[in-house]
Amino acid sequence: MLPARALLAQVNLLKAFMKGSTNCMQKLSVRGTLTLVVIMLMLVTGNFACAQDEVSVPVTPVPFPAIYYGSVAAEDGTAVDQGVLRAYAGSELCGALAFSGGEFGKPEEEPYVQRLLVYSSNQELDGKEIIFRVLVDGKEHPATIENGSVIWKSGEKREVKLVMSAEPAPFWDLQEHWAFATVVQLVDKGIISGYEDYTFRPDHPITRAEISAILARAMALPPGNIAMLAGYSDAPDLPVWAKGAVASALEAGLLKGYPGEDGSSAIQPADNITRTELAVILGRALTLKTGDRQAQAKDFTDQDQIPAWAMEGVNLAAHKELIKGYPDGSFRPESEVTRAEAAMMVARLMENVDEQVAP
């Protein structure tokens, strides 16, 4: 494809050729002359067609980042010495900039100063509110805006005066984790919570008591009869916050006790739950809410390591993709489940139940 100037040159060349030297024309046969004319016409008309095609292609404008500069102060008004300013649209990190001396992107008129550029290739930001957080000593702190809210606008350049909260943001240890969005959704629904130190501890193993509390809320189980816990030998070991939820899970049949040699039964609430155990519990929860028991047998590479008592539950949970195998085809039945993994599995369970019981 040739630009317009080149096309014009070809047209002029064709004119020159048609008006060419009589001597040259006389030396060419009629057939040769016609052949050259046809070739020139094809070249010119073909390039005109390409040029027309090029003009007709719609061009989607690419939005420019929003540009921010300003200050970061503590609640007492003193400048925050140093840190990293982060900008979020929803749960997506859309920009980050290290700063020092309580300022970023200043002076405003200086062309060679780094400023906070905020943009996204995953979502349309126009008209969305931008939330700022400040990372200091490995912990994210919420930041309020002194001079009004910030609504993203392509190419806008504006000053932002921020006041950093003294307390870290909830789940500051989850900000860049792969399960962040799912955990936040479950938190917003009141299904899952973190710890008093503002952490979620996504890669820590989850206990039987913790998963009982999460599933009791996720499946909206009726309140359990705490008095029934007296029938379990380790009931005194249950933390107060877990008693009601564990009782609900036991009464609903999601959780079962471990038989002791003396005929007693134990809950083992502090034990970390394995993939086999959680798969079975998820299968029970799905059946409880939907009546669904049908499943196709899965063929994991370590199928022989899955206990016989758990096979039906594992097949159901795997068939419904509540729990998934690993890229190497294994299930790893005795591996402990992390809090992040449990959150993902519970979220899938809730989606599956909603799909099957939706009116």
Q: In the chain, what are the domain boundaries?
A: 4-56, 66-168, 180-357
CATH of region 66-168: 2.60.40.10
276 with 306: CB under 8 angstroms?
Answer: yes
As a dihedral over the C-alpha atoms of residue 347, residue 351, residue 352, residue 357, rounded to 10 degrees, the angle is 140
Tokens of 37: 């004319």
> Which pLDDT does position 359 carry in this prediction?
58
Give dist(CA 23, CA 27) in Å, integer.
6
pLDDT of residue 24: 42
**DSSP string computed for 272-284:** BPBHHHHHHHHHH
State the pLDDT at residue 61. Answer: 62
Other beta carbons within 10 Å of 24: 10
Number of other residues whose CB lies within 10 A of the CB of residue 219: 20
| Among the listed residues 344, 351, 208, the one whose alpha carbon sits nearest the alpha carbon of residue 290 | 351
Q: CA-to-CA distance for 164 and 141, rounded, in angstroms?
A: 6
Assigned token pair, 154: 């392509």
Q: What is the pLDDT of residue 50?
A: 44
Please tell me the predicted confidence (pLDDT) of residue 358.
Answer: 60
Please enumerate in sequence order all residues whose Cβ is within 8 A of that of 94, keeping only pairs 6 or more positions apart, or say none: 87, 88, 118, 119, 120, 125, 130
Per-residue pLDDT tens listing for the chain (359 residues):
445 454 454 445 444 444 444 444 444 444 444 444 444 545 444 544 444 444 555 555 668 999 999 999 999 999 999 999 999 998 788 999 999 999 999 998 898 999 999 999 989 999 999 999 999 998 889 999 998 899 999 999 999 999 999 988 888 788 779 999 899 899 889 999 988 888 899 999 999 999 999 999 999 999 999 999 999 999 999 999 999 999 999 999 999 999 988 888 999 999 999 999 999 999 999 999 999 887 788 889 999 999 999 999 999 999 999 999 999 999 999 999 999 999 999 999 999 998 876 65
Task: Provide the 8-state DSSP code for 304.
Answer: G
Cα distance between residue 219 and residue 191, in whole Å: 9
Would you state the torsion angle of the CA atoms of residues 246, 248, 249, 251, taken in this order, to the nearest 10 degrees?
A: 120
- As given in the structure block, the two tokens for residue 219 are 């499946």
Is residue 256 within 8 Å of 250, Cβ to Cβ? Answer: yes
Does pTM top 0.85 for this prediction? no
Give residue 351's pLDDT: 95
3-class DSSP assignment, residue 73: strand
Instruction: Write the CB contacts of 137 (distance below 8 Å, at least 6 apart in sequence).
Output: none
177 φ/ψ angles, rounded to the nearest 5 degrees: -85, 150
Residue 48: strand pairing partners: none
